Structure 1
Amino acid sequence: MKQITDTILMVRPVAFRMNEQTSVNNYFQKNMNDPDLNISAAREFDDFVKKLKAVGVNVIVVDDVLEDNTPDSIFPNNWVSFHEDGQVALYPMFAENRRKERRLEYFSKLEEAGFKITDIVDYTAAEEDDVFLEGTGSLILDRVNEKAYCAISPRADEDLLIEFCEDFEYTPVIFNAYQSVGDKRLPIYHTNVMMCLGEEFAVICLDTIDEKKERKNVLKHLKQDGKEIIAISEKQMHEFAGNMLQVQGTFGKKYLVMSARAHRSLTEEQVAKIEKHCEILSSEIQTIEIAGGGSARCMMAEVFLPKA
């Protein structure tokens, strides 16, 4: 099993804006006074793709559909995950207007690129019961050690997580993660804003796991699997320093991909720890981060499918 891949599926935005349906529990989103919001987001998207391709990452870009009016289509990792055995998982989404993002025609683009899909595991019927699990936003998958880390939230249901783990033979590592919003501690909407898992390391905001027992358990699993722990503060998490993804470029060279904003928030010591394992690749995506409430990792759906 591989933990990282050299192939990424990304969706170019055509109707990007702050999604009013997701802002109810995504406390990273902010209103932006930009009449050309989609133009700014598309420019950031294109620059980001260019940087990934320049280091040899195979980026498969598909275009959003204007008529569907899907403001968050730029974050495909929430509705789909691709697996080495040819399985594809489809996930139930909290916001109704995000459900249209699940476009199966994108899969033919992957098949045209030589990938094989053997089976689709569809969890989307859970939406009828208001039960959600938003893909690799909710699930941080340790594919090698077959563990699924998940912070429970309105977008990550524990029972559905366990069902996923049974279907895909993962061990669930369940915890609660909170952020300070005003004077309240509220659940973080997606695990992948507070945690990133590389081949040999984990970037994690331990300060968000308020329950000491749960924090200890997460650390136990990471250490058990030989991961170097790179701890970030809650302040850095708010700069999207937890929302990173390790990928592979030309000649197997490895990169930790993040936004420029996340990169700027890191200390010299944290950068040195990361660079022991791989190079940092960062791109300016401020518009996407502020209005969308997601960052670099959310924009990339990793493709682990076998070649046909």
Structure 2
Amino acid sequence: MVAPIFKDTDTSSRGESYATNAVVMVPPVDFKFNFETSSDNEFQQRLDLPDAEVRAKALAEFYNMVSILRGLGVNVTVMDYTGDGLETPDAVFPNNWFSTNRAGDVILFPMACQNRRNEIRPDCLLDALSKEGFDVSEVVTVGNMSHPTAFLESTGVMIHDHVNRTIYAALSDRCDKKLLLQYLDVSEFHELLSFETQMASGASVYHTNVMMAVGDGFAVICDEIIEEFERRRVLSTLRKTKEVISISEAQMGQFCGNILQLKNDNNEHLIVMSLSAYNAFSREQKNILRKHGKLVPIDVTTIETIGGGSVRCMLAENFLPQRDCS
């Protein structure tokens, strides 16, 4: 059931935009179908293509996305991910193993699949951030990073409403309730709404960020997969401050929930999504979204088909303070 946790909330700055203009991205140098994650990720599909061709297509999509975002005025840090002999087929989805905050912290999280734990490379991350002028004050870990028995896959499983200091989380094997509460204690968030989901297949959704996205003034959610009582609680909370767009499970399957609001260097809002998501949104839904930012559809067909994650999964938001290099 929905589990609200409350702390004192400072509402004085709720008119402020909390979208970031900086992201971290990791090139898909080892990209291929990940058999380990496919056990609970129903969004993954195998293609009858050689691994080398799959990687080439994924890399082309990745660098096209980097180019588009930089061209729109988003600060993109590309983290060097040279191989060290460890398999990292899903490294292109870095938002599952770390997050950042405005206090200067990098927070590390335990992931469920062994070959995804190979992606956790804080030294590489800190080096990439430092080269771009971002200051890290502390590295914080949630849970047991070396031998985890419980998992919390960062902003894959936690949707952060920065305006209202609220976290939304669909519970699953990758989203442990105790670790959610542990994270809440070290974060700037004050309220937690956790809930159960059930897709048509009978399975829980593997990551909250494929069913749900929250921006400064809007929310997109596949609420039909949430049990009715919990659904009412979640929607009621969202509707207090957000314009809510409900998407169907079919639209979720086209990654309409896997979108992200960003700002550019002129403080203009962007809503980044895959081309498949853009095509699956109705005209009315796109018109609502346009009130909250310029829609930026990007073709990542290979990555989202084989990897089971889309544009939002490829973007690790960077809220760290940046040195003035002028």
Higher strand share: 1
- Alignment partner, residue 112 of structure 1: 131
Normalising by structure 1, report the TM-score: 0.95
Q: Distance in 2 between matches of 1:276 and 1:123?
A: 36
Which segments of 5 or more consecutive residues in structure 2 lack a partner in the other structure? 1-12
Q: 2:146 & 2:255 partners in 1: Cα distance?
A: 28
C-alpha displacement of 1:118:
1.0
What is aligned with 1:178? 198
Taking structure 1 as reference, are residues 250 and 169 closer, same or farther at Cα in structure 2, changes over 3 Å only?
A: closer
User: How many angstroms does 1:169 deviate by?
Assistant: 4.1
Q: Compute the displacement of 1:112 (Å).
A: 2.0
From 105, 114, 134, the equivalent of 1:87 is 105
Residue in structure 2 matching 1:24, options 39, 52, 71: 39
TM-score of the aligned structures, taking structure 2 as reference length: 0.90
Task: Tell me by how many angstroms 1:135 deviates.
Answer: 0.5
Structure 1 residue 151, shift from structure 2 partner: 0.3
> By percentage of residues, which structure has more helix?
1
1:219 matched to 2:235? The reply is yes
Give the conservation status (yes or no) of the 8 Å contact 2:143–2:179: no
Q: Indicate whether 1:288 and 2:303 are aligned.
A: yes
Matches of 1:277 and 1:143, distance apart in 2: 15
Identity, in percent, stands at: 40
Residues 261 and 286 in structure 1, CA contact (< 8 A), matched pair in contact too: yes
Paired residue type of 2:174 = R
How far does residue 257 in structure 1 lie from its aligned partner after superposition? 0.3
**2:89 maps to 1:74:** no
Tell me, which stretches of 5 or more residues in structure 1 are unaligned?
Answer: none
Q: Could you tell me how far 1:113 is from its partner in structure 2?
A: 1.4
Which 4+ runs in 1 deviate beyond 4 A? none
Q: Give 3-state SS (helix, strand or coil) of 2:219's partner.
A: strand
The letter for the 1-side match of 2:310 is S
Q: 2:64 aligns with which of 41, 47, 53?
A: 47
Structure 2 counterpart of 1:273: 288
Between the aligned partners of 1:179 and 1:127, the Cα distance in structure 2 is 32
Counterparts of 2:22 and 2:186, CA distance in 1: 24
2: CA distance, partners of 1:127 / 1:133? 14
User: Are positions 1:254 and 2:254 aligned together?
Assistant: no
Q: CA RMSD in A?
A: 1.3
Q: What is residue 162 of structure 1 aligned with on the other side?
A: 181
Q: Secondary structure at the match of 1:203?
A: strand
Distance 1:284 1:130 in 2: 36
Aligned partner letter, 1:161:
L
Instruction: Specify the SS of the correspondent of 2:292.
Output: coil
Confirm or deny that 1:230 pairs with 2:245: yes
Partner secondary structure for residue 271 of structure 1? helix
TM-superposed deviation, 1:102: 1.0
- Equivalences, count: 303
Contact 1:94 1:127 in 2 (8 A): no
Task: Give distance in 1, aligned partners of 2:59 and 2:260.
Answer: 20
Offset, 1:13: 1.2
